[in-house]
Structure formats: structure tokens, C-alpha cells
Amino acid sequence: MSSGSGDVARTHLISQVGPDLEGQEVGLAGWVYRYRDLGSVIFIVLRDATGIIQAVVRSEEVDPNSWEAAKKADVEASVKLAGVVRLDPRAPGGVEIRVTRASLVGESPDFPIKKDTGVEFRLDKRHLDIRSRRMWAALKIRAEFIAGLREWFDSNGFVSVEAPTFVSAAVEGGATLFELNYFGRKAYLTQSSQFYLEAAIFTFEKVYTIQPSFRAEKSRTRRHLTEFWHAEAEMAWHDLDAMMDVAEALVDHAVQRVYENRKEELEILGRKFEPPQRPYPRISYDEAIDIAQSKGVQIEWGDDMSTEAERAVSLEFDRPVFVYRYPKQAKAFYHAPDPARPEVVLCADLLAPEGIGEIIGGGQRIHSYDELVARIREEGLRVEDYEWYLDLRRYGSVPHAGFGLGVERTVRWIAGIPHIRDAVAFPRTPTRLTP
């Protein structure tokens, strides 16, 4: 299918082509981002992994094969272009390419996504839409953020441990469990790797994983996916305050890394983002309820924080805020009760600013065998489903704490992405299973 001047060699990436190369010939390879055919001159905006550049093809300046290739190129066709670098203050990047040779590698007749294509159709064609500048920027910010998380864990004494996806019991309650048939037995998709990380602290003390978790959330919201990437940490000998210190240092590091290395991508998304100052404030659930009620949110002491309540609280702060010590009934069975106030548990959620709400949930775990069995029973769960988890309290139990951070929710905040589905390449929601 290739046509045109077959001998165009790639000499540069687009990001390497700047004013310093004025007058030099460069060879580029990529995809046609924009295409305008004015008859005897064709304007191509070429895209590669590193950026975009304008290229001008004039019929009198190229051989007939190159001209034919340029004529046949269309939006999202793959092409190779050789040309001379010219200064052009109006072009993106301040330079353009006067094409001397062109070849068409893969044609692209009638690329289905146009400028005015609607959201749902773009999602149907997400395998093509990730080529857009918007998704390119969002996904590079996501990759940088994940690299920042990993970098912090790896340089702070945490060992990475991976947990299974098929599991036999709930971590976060039955309402959001995906059930499946596992060779005739009931199994579930994991909601959280927490229990496996708890097992691993007894050999490594500080552990983390970044892997998918699954929630059968029927609610269609801007902050729920059915499959999300979960960065989870678990630490032996840590209490609630120490856990918040870890979570704060982790988020700060990864956010700083995105800010330093992804300025262009944030700009493409129109996001003016400054990493929040530390320390992040820490308020009690009681204080959070007072704030939410004072903003007119319908909520009673004892309720879990609703989306509206989290929004009201997070809008009160210019940086992430920890909300700690929720009522026992609002949280999963494994949370340790506050010895001074047994109706609340030693947990903390981190709410991101700008109304984003919860991005981290975690806390101190019950480490006494008897207390844990009592809580499992109290919740109406079957003790036998948690036998192996209870072993961790039988053999050398220690106080410990941990948390889980939702990668997409956090990227949504950093990058200013309106809907969580655009913080992941191939989102899974109740209505979306392809691509």
C-alpha cells in the first residue's frame, strides 16, 4: 500500500525539530493530524509520539510520486516526510517543514472521528480516539503519575507484591461484588488487594501494589468505573497518623513529578495546576459533617459521606484534606475502633480539592483475632470465608495500617478531566465493555 518516494528515512522526532535546525533537511514519520488540500499546495499537520508540526507540500517543489502520495494522504494516514525546516512564527512550535519528498505508508480513508464527533461515538471508537491530542495528553499525565507513585514506593522501602484478581470473599462489602463461576464454585473479581498486602507485611513490613480493582457500581457517575487502577499500600507498625503521613508524602511526590515533567500535556488540557502545599489539613468526620450541613447538604451523623458532602467539604480547602474517624457503621468490618471512642474507627479518607472528593480510603486495621471475629459476625459475614485472613491475627499479629488510592480519580483531579473515563485509555463502566 506504500506509495511515493520510498526512500524517506526518519532522522528526527518532531519534538527535536526547532528553530535551531532552520535550513536543514529532516526526515519525519508519523500520522496526519490535520489535512488541508488547496489544489497546488497541501498543508499537513504531522503527529508523532512526541508532538505535532506543520508541513507544506507544493506541487512544484516535489517529484510526481511524492505529490501523488501527499494527495492520497488523509487524516490519520501514516506518512514519511522529508523537508527543510523554516521559521514560521504562526506555526505550532514556531517552525514548519517545506516538504521535498513524501511517502504514504498506510492510507486512512474517511477516519471516523471528526472535529465535531459526539462523546458517545468517540467512546465507541476509543481505540482510535486515543490518537487525539486530548487523550494523548491525559494518558501521558496518567503514565507520569503512576511512575511517580512507583518511584516513591520503591525509594521508601516498600516492596511491590501483586495479588490475585479471582478471589473467594468480599473485602468492601457484597453490594459491589462481581460474581463469576470458577469451575463450578462461586468466585469474585477483587475489590481491593488489601488482605493480600496485609499478609505480605509479615514478610516485608512495607508493601504496595498498583493493579486493577473491580466494583459492580451500577451508579453512573463522573467518578465511578467498574474496573479501576488501585494503588494500595500496607505498613506494619503504623497507626492512623503514620498512615496519613505516608499517603501525603506519596501523593505529594507523584503530583510534583507530573507538574515538573508534564507541563505541555497540562497546557493541552487547558489545566492550570499548581501542586498543593503541604501539610494537608486533617479534620474529623464530625467536623466534616458540620461543614457539609452548614452548606445545606442533607446528611446526619452516622451516614457515610455522600458525593455532595465530600464536594462541600473539599471546596472549603485549597488542597487535599484528610477526613478521619468515621462512624463504625459507615465503614468495612476490618477497620480498628478508636479505643477512646468505640463508635468511630481509625480510618481516614483523602478528599481532593475543587469538589473532586475521595481519592484515598484507608486506616488502621483490627489486629486482634477476637475483635476481628466479633466484627465479622456483627456484620453478618461468614467467619469461614475469612479463615486465611484470620490466620494473620493468629500468628505474630502486629498493629498495622494501609490505604488505597484510586489512580483515575487522582489523575482526574490533577489533569482537570471532567469525567473519570477520560483518565484511562479503555474505560469500563456499566454500559461500556468495548473497545
The contact set with ligand NSS (CB under 6 A) reads 171-172, 192, 194, 215, 217, 224-225, 228, 230, 232, 358-362, 402-406, 408-409
CA distance 219 to 176: 10
Which residue is it, cell 484528610? 322
Reported in sequence order, the residue ranges of 267-399 that DSSP labels E, i.e. its strands, are 282-284, 321-324, 337-338, 341-345, 347-352, 357-364
State in angstroms the smallest separation of the CB of 422 from ligand NSS.
Answer: 13
CA distance 30 to 11: 12
CA distance 200 to 65: 63
Minimum CB distance to ligand NSS smaller for 32 or for 240: 240
CA 176 to chain centre: 21
State in angstroms the smallest separation of the CB of 230 from ligand NSS.
Answer: 6
Minimum CB distance to ligand NSS smaller for 62 or for 405: 405
State in angstroms the smallest separation of the CB of 423 from ligand NSS.
Answer: 9
Give me 267's grid cell: 497546557
Minimum CB distance to ligand NSS smaller for 55 or for 163: 163
Q: Give the DSSP per-residue string, 145-172.
A: HHHHHHHHHHTTTPEE----SEESS-SS
The residue among 408, 398, 394, 392 whose CA lies nearest residue 196 is 392
Minimum CB distance to ligand NSS smaller for 69 or for 233: 233
Minimum CB distance to ligand NSS smaller for 140 or for 335: 335
CA distance 55 to 40: 14
State in angstroms the smallest separation of the CB of 396 from ligand NSS.
Answer: 21
State in angstroms the smallest separation of the CB of 381 from ligand NSS.
Answer: 15
Minimum CB distance to ligand NSS smaller for 24 or for 219: 219
CA distance 36 to 54: 11
CA distance 342 to 359: 26
Minimum CB distance to ligand NSS smaller for 99 or for 366: 366
State in angstroms the smallest separation of the CB of 290 from ligand NSS.
Answer: 22
Minimum CB distance to ligand NSS smaller for 284 or for 429: 429
Contacts (Cβ under 8 Å, ≥6 apart) of 5:
63, 65, 66, 69, 82, 101, 102, 103
State in angstroms the smallest separation of the CB of 369 from ligand NSS.
Answer: 20
The residue among 208, 200, 290 whose CA lies nearest residue 243 is 208
State in angstroms the smallest separation of the CB of 405 from ligand NSS.
Answer: 6
